[in-house]
Amino acid sequence: MEKLAINGGEPVRTKPFPSWPVVGEEERNNLLEVFESKKWWYGERVKEFEEKFADFQDTQYGITCTNGTAALEVSLLSVGIGPGDEVIVPPYTFVATASAVLRVNAIPIFADISLETANLDPIDAEKKITEKTKAVIPVHFAGLPVDMDAFNNLAKKHNLKIIEDACHSWGSKWKNRGTGALGDCGAFSFQMSKNITSGEGGIILTDNQEIADNARSYINCGRGKDKPWYEHCLLGSNLRLTELQAAILLGQLTRLESQVLKREENAKYLNERLKGMLGIKIIDSDDSRITRRSYHLYQFRYLKEEWREVSREKFLDALQAEGIPASSGYPHPLYKNPLFLRKGKGPRFCPLSCPYYGKEMDYNQVSCPNTEKICKEAVWFSQSVLLGDREDMDDIISAVKKIRDNISVII
């Protein structure tokens, strides 16, 4: 048996995986053109990117903003979510999915995920619907589209709005249509780690003109469509993207298609070689309605009971020592964050400390078993790892096998 690197042996690899972000002459030329034009503020480049990204995602309207968090908040406002409304969200996601609900004075209600996909479970979501439920925010987690047929059926049955958190799913397609406007609207992020980035930035997509006009007003200081410059119609804010950010994003967009396909190809290769390995459970879907899969993360579940009870953390230490950059992801469900557990403590915030809700919410009582399980088992690889070549993917497989073969001597 080969000696594990964590025990002083030679690592499987020492060279780095592809770095992020990927930049080229497209970004440089676009930036220089905008810089020299001295037109840096919310103009033609922003409009061009909005149109091109909306077209890339098979959607009619695109409204850019400062970041993905703002995109979620504006989406909620634009479909009419407000004080005391309940919005169903998954607890296995970035905090913005739920905090955006609080920011519009509504109530996040957590429903569990599926262990097979890490996406919001429509069956559990329906169980959480009450007379106060007004919307659901399904997250296309790691780029894997949720069952949009099921959620749109829920919406129709219970008169709900569907806001897609598509912040991981640039390029993903459900039944040959891009994510983002498969429900009422959807939010994307262009933060630094994301698969298309300008450091920060976001966009709201929709096929509904009224939602698009509302969103445009909310991000542009409440100005109305075709109204005088100093006439403000909604309680908006200054959430506008700049021409410099749009210039970068237009450059990034030129290679997004090929990167989506590259990540998809590499992830499929990893799936084929890891899914039969004892103690590794692939998190993915073979749903034929998913016609293209973007990957913001590649993930699997580590089942320690099949690895002689060696903890996931020990496994990750060993994997990293072999030169494979892996992480554990979220340490706990969102509802276990101090933000949701500080009942009666710290600064007051609406709606939980205001009269809008009409009843009491105690997140200490929330339990989503699948989410709690996956928080203990998930192993993540970042999207940039999947931009490597076949040899890079083989190194990941070799490292996992090496640890598997030496599990009895792991420190």
Phi, psi of 68 (to 5 degrees): -70, -35
User: CA-to-CA distance for 61 and 55, rounded, in angstroms?
Assistant: 9
Tell me the sheet residues that pair with 299. 380
Instruction: Provide the H-helix boundaries in 182-311.
Output: 209-219, 243-274
Helix-helix angle 243-274:25-37, to 10 degrees = 160
Mark whether 128 is an active-site residue.
no
Rounded to 5°, angle at Cα 70 from 69 and 74: 125
Three-class secondary structure of residue 50 per DSSP = helix
Name 107's Cβ contacts closer than 8 Å, sequence gap at least 6: 84, 85, 86, 87, 101, 132, 351, 352, 357, 361
Max CA separation in the chain (angstroms)? 75
Nearest C-alpha neighbor of 138 from the set 70, 190, 184, 74: 184
Q: Are 203 and 178 in contact (CB under 8 A)?
A: no
Nearest C-alpha neighbor of 292 from the set 140, 117, 144: 144
Tell me the sheet residues that pair with 386. none
Catalytic residue among 161, 194, 336, 402: 194
Instruction: Provide the 8-state DSSP code for 12.
Output: S
Q: Are 256 and 171 in contact (CB under 8 A)?
A: yes
Three-class secondary structure of residue 389 per DSSP = coil
Q: Are 271 and 212 in contact (CB under 8 A)?
A: no
- Give Cα separations from 363 to 127, 144, 195, 368, 371 (angstroms): 17, 28, 33, 11, 15
Q: State how far Cα 311 lies from the chain centre.
A: 27
User: CA-to-CA distance for 329 and 107, rounded, in angstroms?
Assistant: 25
Q: Are 86 and 109 in contact (CB under 8 A)?
A: yes
Residues taking part in catalysis: 194
